[in-house]
Amino acid sequence: MKIKSFVEKAELRRRLVAALREDMLVEPKDATIEQFYRALASTLRDLMGEKRRHFSARTAFRAQKQVHYLSMEFLPGRSMKNSLYNLCLDGVAAEVLSEWEVRLEQLYECEPDAGLGNGGLGRLAACYLDGLATDGFSATGYSILYKYGIFKQKIIDGWQTEQPDYWIPGGDVWLAPRPDQATEVRFGGVVSDWWEAGIHRIEHTGYETVTAVPHDLYVSGYDSEAVSVLRLYQAKSPGVDMEKFNRGDYLGAFGATSVAETISNVLYPNDSHLEGKKLRLRQQYFLSAASVGDIIHRHLSTYGSLDRFAELNAIQINDTHPVLAIPEMMRVLLDDCGYSWERAYDVVTRVFAYTNHTVMAEALEQWDENLMAELLPRIIQIIREINERFCRALKEKHGCSDAAIARMAPVAYGMVRMANLAVAVCHSVNGVSTLHSKIITTDVFPDYYKVAPYKFKNVTNGIASRRWLCQANPGLTALLRETIGEGFLHDFSQLSRFAKYRSDPAVLERVLAVKRENKVRFAGYLREKTGAVISPDAVFDVQVKRLHEYKRQQLNALNIIADYQAIKADPGREFTPRVHIFGAKAAPGYFLAKQIIKLLCTLGQQLEGDRDVAGRLKVVFLENYSVTLSELLMPSADFSQQISLAGTEASGTGNMKLMLGGAITVGTLDGANVEICDAAGMENELIFGMRAHEVGELRAAGYDPGAVYAQDPVLKTALDALVSGELGDRFRELYDALRYTDRYMALADFAAYREAMKRSDGVWLDRRGFAEKSLLNTAASGVFCADRAVMDYARDIWGLDN
């Protein structure tokens, strides 16, 4: 059942022609592809803006609770294809454009990926905006309008180099500026307080002001009245220092402008130096203060008072980056609204909820107390007061020991611990997979769990399934429609009906045919864009995710080296042709991650030039991996590498997208892999390695990577290749990190991983068995739809329904 288009064909044509004539000053017959792209994009933006205004009016009339999702990053990808699909205008738009012999695919290529995120955290946030709108909730996402994104990755001689990502030319047409709703954000200065007539007065002087100018990006729901808004803030200086300018100090006159606007230039600036730390802290407060100001302003403009604020607003903090929104809301309620501490704190605790995304202590943000006092003098006062009252309550109400209080304190040892602040104040703390949510109660926040177990919940992550299935995988979508009908388009749990075809020879043949069509499509794209040639008849073995040691791309690389060495030792041996496909960005200051990228690129070059492995073993590294590229790659994957050390990956969402496309998981029982196995059956995945408790036991016993190295000759030979020159380059730092430290136990899991990879050959060669496993993975993937995840948040955390 195809839902009715949001507007009729004649109306879409009228608006498109008007945009060309009035905005582009061109007749349709004379317009370029770029002009058609901008005209259609602005038309869709305005349509979604109208739809959002109508929906907001209805939700205000019904006093519906508003959801506000604060995240340092969103990764929406391209907007045109997704917007057309969700508005059910893809077919209509194609018909309209055909009048001028223009194809939608030509317009899609004009749009850059929005440079607003980096990896899974940002993609998850974008998926939730889609799911919130589809489920009919009134939602606004908040982030920063990064001028240059995180960076554009360029591989030069195998090394990652970072270049500015100029995405806004081409992407700006989707943004609706709202300069009339700009907010002022204050940094630095001096805070004075005193009592006058029994009232506590606060005065903040000598501060620097930065203007936060909002720009709205719309995300329509599928077959829904709702449209989510992603409100992105651009940092602007309030003006030029004319006194300095008139004195001839031209650089000084504009210096404040440059400093202010740096806030919204780049996502995650390198914080290995003090200036980088200051910029990151400024970014986080800028986002938090602008968002809180907007949320309160919107509520007041609708209801006239803050009396029901906590009943009508839910604020979800996505990871620790926006935690400063908590003391900022306290500041507004205390200083601007005259609330007592108790009343303000009650509102804040009822409004805020926190999603934790990491189990690693080093990733739980901490800020130097003195740095925060310098940049945010009023905020640090409030945080210290929260800390003092919280620690007192732990002692007096809960009888906690001094040691436990020290572990739980939001401020301790000169540091402000953002995760502790969030857990102390928020009414809900959730993990993002069953295993992760268990670990945060036992390992990450065990003291808090003893005091307030009711706070801790689980919401397993979800993905925008329609994007990765209906838009990215039309062949599989067509097969599903033929076999199980179209109900899954509105309810992805209905994918489970596909499982009954697991023994149908005709359907299994179609599954294999669709997979090969997708592989041919990706191989063609790769050859056109990069010149790399890969065979669609080889295994496509895919590991695409942020480059980090805990995700263990280095383990994958060691296995590839071992395979290469085995072929070289016996060139006549049987070997299943396999293409290892990687895509990842490393943080600019993370040298070992960059060296892993260099190793993967070196392997690719080494294999390419060796006749013994030609057509048998290949490594491809995808430069500047993006959402758009993932939409091509993921439907083509045969095996999905999810090989993080058990107990380190919170959830993952790439694993869900690959599963949806029928890829079989090669992975540890980590993150959402546990639930993937529960859903599809352990027998339909390739699970290996230590479990989380075994990792803990080995670490406690004193893990010795050198002993593993000495006992496994295959591993020893592969690892030695990093420094022997056998690969053409040497990787001493990576060798030392693995040989002597191996923080993420790649060596400990190497033998088990290698055995799992051998099993994957057998799975692949049994074509019918492979097709059945692929089908069952798709059939079991409905539980990982963002629609379901959003409903879990709504029911269990936000206290609302649709």
Q: Is residue 175 a contact partner of residue 232, using CB atoms and an 8 Å limit?
A: yes
Where residue 132 sits, what CATH number does that domain have?
Answer: 3.40.50.2000
Q: Give the integer Cα–Cα distance in Å for 389 and 381.
A: 12
Report pLDDT for 274.
92
Closest Cα to residue 751, out of 537, 576, 559? Answer: 559
Distance (Å, rounded) from C-alpha 151 to C-alpha 156?
15
Does residue 326 share a domain with residue 192?
Answer: yes
Whether 752 is in a domain gets the answer yes
Paired strand residues for 579: 540, 618
469 in the same domain as 439: no
753 in the same domain as 638: yes
Residues 457 and 470 in one domain: no
User: Looking at the structure, do residues 433 and 554 belong to the same domain, yes or no?
Assistant: no
Do residues 316 and 236 both lie within one domain?
A: yes
Q: Are 656 and 672 in contact (CB under 8 A)?
A: yes
For residues 159-191, one letter each, b for 16 or more C-beta atoms within 10 angstroms of the residue's C-beta and e for the rest, the string is ebebeebebbebbebbbbeeeebbbebbbebeb
* Shared domain check, 380 and 515: no
- Would you state the pLDDT for residue 5? 67
Same domain, 604 and 544: yes
* Residue 35 placed within a domain: no
Token pair recorded at residue 645: 């050390």
Within a domain: residue 36? no
Residue type, 301: S
DSSP string, 292-315: HHHHHHHHHHHHSSSTTHHHHEEE
- Decide which of 461, 478, 504 is a domain's last residue: 461
- Which of 442, 461, 480 is the endpoint of a domain? 461
Looking at the structure of the chain, the number of domains it has is 2
Is residue 329 situated within a structural domain?
A: yes
**What residue ranges of the chain have pLDDT lower than 70?**
1-5, 196-198, 239-246, 248-257, 802
Stretch (H or E) spanning 255? helix 250-261
Q: Is residue 339 situated within a structural domain?
A: yes
Residues across the chain: 802
Burial of 702 (0-12, 13-18, 19+ CB in 10 A): exposed
Instruction: Tell whether 270 is covered by a domain.
Output: yes
Report which of 358, 219, 310 is spatially closest to residue 790, judged by C-alpha positions: 219
Strands 152-156 and 159-163: antiparallel
- Count Cβ atoms below 10 Å from residue 654 Cβ, excluding itself: 24
| Burial annotation 436-456 (CB, 10 A radius, 16+ → b, else e) | bbebbbeebbebbbebeeebb
**Contacts within 8 Å (CB) and 24+ apart, 565-572:** 565/717, 565/718, 565/721, 567/612, 567/613, 567/616, 567/617, 568/610, 568/612, 568/613, 571/612
Q: Kind and range of the H or E element at 595?
A: helix 591-608
Strands 352-355 and 313-318: parallel
- By C-alpha distance, which of 722, 704, 715 is closest to 754? 715
* Number of Cα atoms under 13 Å in the Cβ half of residue 381: 16
DSSP string, 392-457: HHHHHTT---HHHHHHH-SEETTEEEHHHHHHHH-S-EEESSHHHHHHIIIIISHHHHHH-GGGEE
Q: Are residues 288 and 345 in the same domain?
A: yes
Per DSSP, 324 falls in state T
Name the 3-class secondary structure at 90.
Answer: helix
Q: Which of 415, 435, 461 is the last residue of a domain?
A: 461
pLDDT digit string (tens) for 374-383? Answer: 999 999 999 9
**CA-based angle 500:432:284, to the nearest 5?**
140
Domain that holds residue 650: 465-784
List active site positions.
357, 545-546, 551, 653, 657
Those residues with Cβ within 8 angstroms of residue 129's Cβ, 6 or more apart along the chain or in another chain: 69, 74, 76, 139, 141, 219, 228, 230
Residues 484, 341 within the same domain = no
Give the Cα separation of 58 and 48 in Å (integer).
15
Residue 480 lies in a domain: yes
Answer for the pair 201, 193: CB distance below 8 angstroms, yes or no: yes
What are the DSSP calls for 94-119, one per residue? HHHHHTTT--HHHHHTTPPPP-S--S
542 and 422: one domain? no
**CB contact set of 645 (below 8 Å; sequence gap of 6+):** 550, 552, 668, 670, 690, 695, 744, 745, 746, 749
Stated as kind and residue range, the H or E segment containing 367 is strand 366-368
**Same domain assignment for residues 489 and 421:** no
